[in-house]
Chain A
Amino acid sequence: MMSRFSCFYLCLFFLTTVNAEITGFPFKNEKEEQRFRELSSELRCLVCQNQSLADSNAELAQDLRSELYQQVVSGNSNNQIINFMTKRYGDFILYKPRFATKTLLLWIAPIILFIVGFFCLVRFSKFKNHPQKKEIPEADLQKIRVLLQAEEEKK
């Protein structure tokens, strides 16, 4: 069984790995640090493309992190920083695609698919719940009645 102490030390171990990326960057206040964290996890590292700037240890990611740090500390707004990055590296640097004509389909496809799915659901379940009634000719009904009557009389 894991003792409380070893658990505590294990937690410390993970804490240090999470914080590894911001060592060496002194922040004036927590707000700045928070902003730096958020932005560095929203921006993609272009060298190792499935990692954010916060996760990556590539040279370029380090450079872009220090660029990001400089801009956060000098008080640039998130929008200004995002614009700076996309002007140089394109929309690709953003993990979350922008809402633009180029990405319109990407954003509205889920809504369209939901509507289509809903429509299909309504349409097809209607068929199931109300199967078409077939008119049975009166002559056949008469036959059935006779047969049932005969069955009844047998008992």
Chain B
Amino acid sequence: MSSQIDKESRLSQKPKRLIYILPLGLFAVLMVIFFFGLGLNPRLVPSPLIGETVPAFSLPKLSNPNELIQHTVLKGEISLLNIWATWCASCKHEHPVLMKIAQSNEVQIYGLYYKDVPSQGVAWLRSYGDPYHENAVDEEGKVGIEWGAYGTPETFLIDQKGIIRYKHIGPISWNDWKTTILPMINTLRNNNDV
């Protein structure tokens, strides 16, 4: 008789014990969320433009202010659009990598010269080298807003149809190029061949 009571009371204690462990379990879940969540970089804001066609623009060329360059040049071939300025320190840091990418002949690089004086950009390209196929001058930054630019340098990967496939925020390192951007370009190229 008494042994049966013992058994029953032990049984009724079981769910209670689980409840005592619950806070610890919740704490563990929170730790996991924080571990990954706090590791994210809040500066990397995902672009809503990925998968969209390129925003339209018509701007003067940096090489010749009397001629216009339009967003339509970004269709037909895989290209990169790099948003840069001479006041942007990270752009200077990124510049040698862009030079190397240009020399690899894998992709054409277009530039959006953002909120800066054209003469300074011309001087910069003359002294450091010019990795760009062509540059569009966005002195007021209006087109920059169309592209959702918030911190230079930013680089968009655009496919043959003029659809934005990827956005890189901050300077591209040679490693980014090798491990992320170039493989994406190769995939886009292969998909188009099929």
Contacts and interface: CB of A to CB of B under 8 A. Distances in A.
Q: Using C-beta atoms within 8 Å of the partner chain, give the interface range for chain A.
A: 10 to 19
A59 interface: yes
Give the secondary structure class of B's interface: loop
A11 B142 CA distance: 37
B45 A60 contact: no
Interface string B5-49: 000000000000000000000000000000000000011011111
Interface residues of B, number: 20
A63 B148 contact: no
A46 B48 contact: no
Nearest to A60: B150
B42 A49 contact: yes
Contacts of B43: 49
Nearest to B146: A88
B148 A88 contact: yes
A53 B149 CA distance: 15
A28 B97 CA distance: 50
B115 interface: yes
Interface in B46-92: 46-49, 55
Residue from A49, A60, A91 having most chain B Cβ neighbours under 10 A:
A60
A63 B48 contact: no
Residue from B146, B147, B148 having most chain A Cβ neighbours under 10 A:
B148
Given A88-B49, A92-B46, 14 more contacts: A46-B45, A47-B150, A49-B42, A49-B43, A59-B115, A59-B141, A60-B149, A67-B142, A86-B48, A87-B48, A88-B146, A89-B150, A90-B48, A90-B148
Interface of B: 42-43, 45-49, 55, 115, 140-142, 144-151
Interface of A: 46-47, 49, 59-60, 63-64, 67, 86-92
